[in-house]
């Protein structure tokens, strides 16, 4: 069976790391057909919409999409794309690797970020000259859907992040719903205030396995964890919906190094491994992860990891290990 | 002149560290009169309001108040107290000290946290069985007041944290107002997305000096920085209003060690130093900070810093160095 995957490199190093991940996917032996689509600043600069309807439609109809990064237009591209695949959870693993310097060696945490609401529901208004408002939305149904996914993902239990001491109604609903669903499923949970959790992740990340978060909390806590494991160059992510999914590195366009051929492709290759998992090619997914780990441990490495290899050297080394 | 200071120890280790800080204040030679007031879980357990009207009134009429910590009732105590002193900024320095293990030695960042609005403005509703909302409020006037304070505080320039790529109207107003006020005052700024900043603080905190934040962003970024400098035991804070101010350690009640006499008093003593600064006893404030630094460098140290000293040992050592 041919697996059709939509590929949206986007801007900056997206143009370098997405083709690298495609090379790796092709080397797995799975029968892929890649359909490339455009999005990002470069489309907007040519007078188009940063997310053209055609790209949106392709993602909305594909089983799986691989996205790179977008520049200034990031929010205008990635938020509608997450919506187009109807993704309700953003899965963001943050772990360290042998061979990679990390502030917290031994960290291995997966964030399950609510992906549809919170402040991202985005109802804003300028009420007066002086006052603006944003309506943050938290629903029981979205919290339930996330919690059910979390119970499948982490039957061994998970932590629920929240700020319900201040956002009593909204984060209270989030926390209580997630905890209740877990209880019904016989899954253990503990809860943590997001501010305290930000500190505890810096001090004792080994105490955390899976963390279920409201949307913005997941955004911040996963980026902070990128800092603890050695930078954004290693963090993949998966936006999972009921019927489709979108995979993307957590990093952005890295304008400082874009076009030089030295971007670290690992975050995007690891996102491609999540795509393989999602399409039920679990062995191939494991092979890709093993290959990335081997390369991280033994080189070659790109400059962000202290090496002087190019993107293509790293990609080839991953492919050779498959 | 006698300086009247309201003192609210609160719950848990608040009962231990606030008296310690009072001892240090008394040893500075400034003529203080301390008025003690009650708040926290222990008041609620006795059938009262966690923040009794009388305590609120005392803080609302004092030049300066020193607060310890409150337990479950923390939000019901500290948020109305911040409001009672009409504080518009929460000043939170996060720095490392010689002699104290830190994940990021050399970090020295001060967060200026907006203290009146954002999600803390707290208009929440349960719209339907399924849906709850919170109205986040950002005003130009509050952003201006904060920005003017920041320009005085950091004429050398500062960073503005925001999430205006998603919260375009509200954080856009915050970011643009703060940047505009700084420009009018000839103060340089740069801006940073709060998620990216959480990562950059872990990787390169030495690139940041003063960071101006919306309320919740300041809450999370300062707690995360506590993790980077070695824990909450060292972080003081000042809630500054036009005419009064409230000083408090960033840490909570630490129920695991409360009552044992081993709590680290440094965060509260450093908060007392900020109180001295506020009342224009700058020399005495510097003396207290120097004494704390000396004790941190040479001991005695409480168990949280790897020592086995008691609160009173550390307090006495600070007093001896004055
Ligand atoms: C670009 C931005 C809208 C996005 C987000 O906030 O979700 C990014 O920070 C991310 O985490 O993928
Ligand atoms: C207790 C809570 C309401 C408070 C806050 O969120 O401001 C605390 O986390 C703090 O930072 O002082």
Please judge whether A134 and B167 are an interchain contact, meaning their C-beta atoms are less than 8 angstroms apart. yes
Q: Ligand 1, atom 3: nearest CA belongs to which residue?
A: A75
Helix (H) or strand (E) holding A142: helix A140-153
B134–A198: do the CB atoms touch at under 8 Å? no
pLDDT at A231: 78
Are the C-beta atoms of A296 and A100 separated by less than 8 Å?
yes
List strand residue ranges (DSSP E) for A51-126, in order: 64-69, 87-95, 108-114, 118-126
- Residue B122 pLDDT more than 80? no
State the pLDDT at residue B1: 84
Question: Which of B144, B174, B199 to probe the A interface (max A CBs under 10 A)?
Answer: B199
- Nearest CA of chain A to the CA of B120: how many Å? 6
- Known active-site residue B104: no
Ligand 1 nearest-atom number relative to CA A216? 6
Which ligand 2 atom minimizes the distance to the CA of B79? 3
For B223, nearest residue in chain A (alpha carbons): A199
Written as six digits, the tokens of A285 are 């997914």
B74 C-beta closer than 6 A to ligand 2: yes
Determine the Cα–Cα distance for residues B206 and B200; give it in Å rounded to an integer: 10
CB-defined site of ligand 1, < 6 Å: A 74-75, 78-79, 219; B 165-166, 195
Label each residue of B33-77 as H, E or C.
Answer: EEEECCCCHHHHHCCCCCCCHHHHHHHHHCCEEEEEECCCCHHHH
Residue B233: is its pLDDT beyond 90?
A: no
Residue B145 with chain A: CB contacts under 8 Å: none
| Domains contained in chain A, CATH given | 1-93+231-321 (3.40.718.10), 102-229 (3.40.718.10)
Nearest-CA residue for atom 2 of ligand 2: B75
Nearest CA to ligand 1 atom 7: A219
A38: nearest Cα among A64, A22, A18: A18
What helix, strand, coil percent values describe chain A, rounded to 5?
45, 25, 30
pLDDT at B319 over 90: yes
Which chain B residues are closer than 8 Å to A132 by Cβ? 137-139, 169-170, 173
| Cis preceding-peptide flag for B300 (omega within 30 of 0) | yes
Distance CA B154, CA A247 (A): 42
Counting from 1 in the atom list of ligand 1, the atom nearest the Cα of B196 is 9
What stretches of chain B show up as alpha helix (H) in DSSP?
14-27, 41-45, 53-61, 74-84, 140-153, 170-184, 194-203, 215-229, 266-278, 282-298, 311-321
Closest CA to B224 of B320, B94, B315, B108: B94
In degrees, to the nearest 5, what angle opens at C-alpha B180 toward C-alphas B109 and B154? 30
Nearest residue by C-alpha to atom 12 in ligand 1: A250
Torsion of CA A20, A22, A27, A30, to 10 degrees: 160
Nearest alpha carbon, ligand 1 atom 11: A219
Atom of ligand 2 nearest to the CA of A193: 9
| C-beta A166 within 6 A of ligand 2 | yes
Q: Tell me the shortest Cα–Cα distance from B313 to chain A, in angstroms.
A: 26
Element (H, E) at A160: strand A158-162
The pLDDT score that the predictor gives to residue A232 is 81
CA A314 from chain centre, in angstroms, equals 21
Closest ligand to Cα B165: 1
Question: In this predicted structure, what is the pLDDT of residue B285?
Answer: 98
> Is B223 an active-site residue?
yes
Distance A75 CA to ligand 1 centre (A): 7
Of B104, B120, B133, the CB nearest to A170: B133
Q: Which helix (H) or strand (E) element contains residue B162?
A: strand B158-162
Q: Is-catalytic flag, B163?
A: yes
Q: Which of B202, B206, B218, B249 to mutate to test the interface with A (most CBs of A within 10 A)?
A: B202
B186 forms bridges with which residues in the sheet? none
Distances from the Cα of A48 to the Cα of A42, A52, A73, angstroms: 9, 7, 12
| Mean pLDDT, chain B, whole residue set | 97
* Res. B143: pLDDT tops 80: yes
CA distance B72 to A32: 55
pLDDT in tens, B206-223: 999 999 999 999 999 999
Q: Which atom of ligand 2 is the closest one to the Cα of A163? A: 6
* Binary contact (A169, B134; C-beta < 8 A): yes
Query: Pairing relation of β-strands B118-126 and B236-241?
Result: unpaired
Give the Å distances, CA to CA, from B212 to A167, B113, B188. 22, 6, 13
- CA B33 from chain centre, in angstroms, equals 23
Ligand positioned closest to the Cα atom of A11: 1
Q: Which ligand is nearest to the CA of A81?
A: 1
A104 noted as active-site residue:
no
For a ligand 1 pocket test, name from A39, A75, A225 the mutation site with the most ligand atoms within 8 angstroms of its C-beta: A75
Q: Whose CA is nearest to atom 4 of ligand 2?
A: B75
Decide whether any atom of ligand 2 lies within 6 Å of the A124 Cβ.
Answer: no
Residue nearest to atom 12 of ligand 2 (CA): B250
pLDDT at residue number B149: 98
Q: How confident is the model at residue B232 (pLDDT cuts 50, 70, 90)?
A: confident
CB contact under 8 A, B124 and A227: no
How far, in Å, CA of B251 to CA of A181, rounded? 32
* CA pair distance A274, A288, nearest whole angstrom: 10
DSSP annotation of A307 reads -
Full pLDDT tens readout for chain A, 322 residues:
899 999 999 999 999 999 999 999 999 999 999 999 999 999 999 998 999 999 999 999 999 999 999 999 999 999 999 999 999 999 999 999 999 999 999 899 999 999 999 999 978 999 999 999 999 999 999 999 999 999 999 999 999 999 999 999 999 999 999 999 999 999 999 999 999 999 999 999 999 999 999 999 999 999 999 999 987 889 999 999 999 999 999 999 999 999 999 999 999 999 999 999 999 999 999 999 999 999 999 999 999 999 999 999 999 999 999 9
Clarify whether A219 is annotated catalytic: yes
Enumerate residues 6+ apart whose C-beta is below 8 A from B278. B64, B238, B240, B245, B247
Compute the distance between CA of residue A302 and CA of residue A309 in angstroms, rounded to an integer. 5
Q: Which of B41, B83, B97, B120 is catalytic?
A: B120
Question: Nearest C-alpha of chain B: how many angstroms from A199?
Answer: 4
Token pair of B255 as six digits: 């129920």
**How far, in Å, CA of B18 to CA of A207, rounded?**
31
Q: Which of B195, B280, B286, B308 is catalytic?
A: B195
Distance CA B181, CA B256 (A): 45
- Residues B36-55 have pLDDT tens digits of 999 999 999 999 999 999 99
In the predicted model, is pLDDT for residue B230 greater than 90? no
Dihedral (CA of A165, A167, B93, A218) sign: positive
CA distance A85 to chain B (A): 19
* C-alpha–C-alpha distance, residues A234 and A24, integer Å: 16
How far, in Å, CA of B13 to CA of A138, rounded? 35
Cβ of B78 less than 6 Å from ligand 2 = yes
Taking CA atoms, A250 is separated from A65, A67, A194, A220, B116, in Å, by: 15, 10, 20, 11, 32
């Amino acid at each position: 069976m041919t697996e059709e995957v939509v590929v949206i490199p986007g801007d900056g190093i997206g143009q370098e790391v997405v083709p690298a991940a495609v090379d790796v996917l092709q080397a797995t032996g799975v029968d892929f057909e890649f359909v490339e689509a455009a999005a990002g600043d470069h489309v907007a600069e040519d007078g188009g919409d940063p997310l053209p309807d055609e790209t949106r439609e392709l993602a909305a109809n594909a089983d799986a999409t691989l996205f790179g990064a977008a520049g200034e237009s990031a929010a205008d591209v990635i938020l509608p794309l997450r919506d187009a695949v109807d993704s309700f959870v953003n899965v963001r693993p943050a772990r360290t690797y042998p061979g990679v310097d990390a502030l917290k060696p031994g960290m291995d945490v997966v964030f399950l970020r609510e992906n549809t609401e919170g402040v991202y529901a985005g109802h804003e208004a300028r009420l007066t000259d002086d006052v603006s408002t944003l309506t943050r939305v938290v629903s029981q149904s979205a919290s339930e859907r996330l919690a059910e996914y979390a119970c499948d993902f982490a039957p061994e239990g998970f932590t629920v992040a929240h700020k319900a001491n201040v956002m009593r109604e909204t984060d209270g609903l989030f926390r209580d719903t997630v905890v209740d669903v877990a209880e019904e499923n016989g899954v253990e949970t503990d809860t943590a205030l997001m501010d305290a959790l930000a500190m505890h992740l810096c001090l004792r990340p080994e105490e955390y396995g899976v963390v279920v978060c409201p949307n913005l909390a997941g955004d911040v806590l996963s980026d902070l964890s990128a800092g603890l494991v050695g930078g954004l160059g290693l963090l993949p992510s998966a936006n999972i919906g009921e019927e489709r999914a979108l995979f993307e590195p957590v990093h952005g366009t890295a304008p400082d190094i874009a076009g030089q051929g030295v971007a670290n492709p690992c975050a995007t290759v690891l996102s491609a491994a999540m795509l393989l998992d999602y399409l039920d090619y679990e062995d191939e997914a494991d092979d890709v992860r093993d290959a990335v780990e081997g390369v991280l441990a033994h080189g070659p490495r790109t400059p962000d990891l202290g090496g002087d290899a190019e993107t293509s050297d790293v990609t080839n080394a991953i492919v050779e290990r498959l």
